[in-house]
Structure 1
Amino acid sequence: MKKRIVLLAVFLSLILACEAYGQGYENKADIYLDFNEEIQKCPYESIVTFKDPKEEGIQFNLCGKALLMFLYEARVDTLSIENLKKVPFVKTTDVKNLVAMWRKDNHQSLMDYYDGVYPYFNKNMMFNTFLVETEEDKIIIYPVVWRYENAID
């Protein structure tokens, strides 16, 4: 009987340890990109489609700087135009620096979490990205994902 209890305890401990190890590392920062400002400076305005509906969602092209996808399963948030001043915008040119800072800030905790092996992380794993589009009396906030993050450079 004692042997069964010990075996059951060991078995449950292994199951709990495996489930805990399978949990992903979660330390994401929120970044907000201003859609109107990003496309305003585009020299290819006449040939680029900035907002392109696709089968899985809306693809946003920030003039070659970023391809972002709003998936239809996500929810759009609409706020009053007065709230625009409260949104901390980031430019797409600054995202590269934010990636480097995120890697530097999280390097040790990632090494500890993954037992000394530094894992692959892309922008979708580092950031919760939101694209903000301004209309006449409201702002629309799209939760988006970065496209082609697993492609080889």
Structure 2
Amino acid sequence: MLDNLLQVYQNDFATISLVVEEFLLVLEWRRHVDFAERKEGLLIALTISKENKINYWIIDDLYHGYISFEEKEWLLSEWMQRISGSGIQKIAYLARDYFSALAVNLDFRVRIITEYMERSKIENEIFIDYPTALTWLFPE
């Protein structure tokens, strides 16, 4: 499926690609990003997603690390409002160091899963590789 990736956006910290026929967007962070960059990348991805009627996301966060308090608050408030009603059904997060990513942000992870499910009905999970994430996104 990822053989059909069409790159639609790139800057120094993010690449956004689509598999249009599968309604899939892939956001790849190219390096560790700060809050302003993460916000910019997510908002660009959301715009592209709406324009292309995307239902599924993979966020490839190879450089995932600490999430600041300010970023957490933005994700739980403004981001949650923006993504609600967007048509996105599932978001798969790729964290190569799954256990570290889970441990560092466990409280926030539980909080955001709850918020996504209650406020937007968007399912989200963490994976360590593309094949597993794709199986979850497209279980056929």
User: TM-score scaled by structure 2?
Assistant: 0.25
Which is greater in Rg?
Answer: 1
Report which of the two has the higher share of helix.
2
- Of structures 1 and 2, the one scoring higher in RCO (CA 8 A, sep 6+) is 1
User: TM-score scaled by structure 1?
Assistant: 0.24
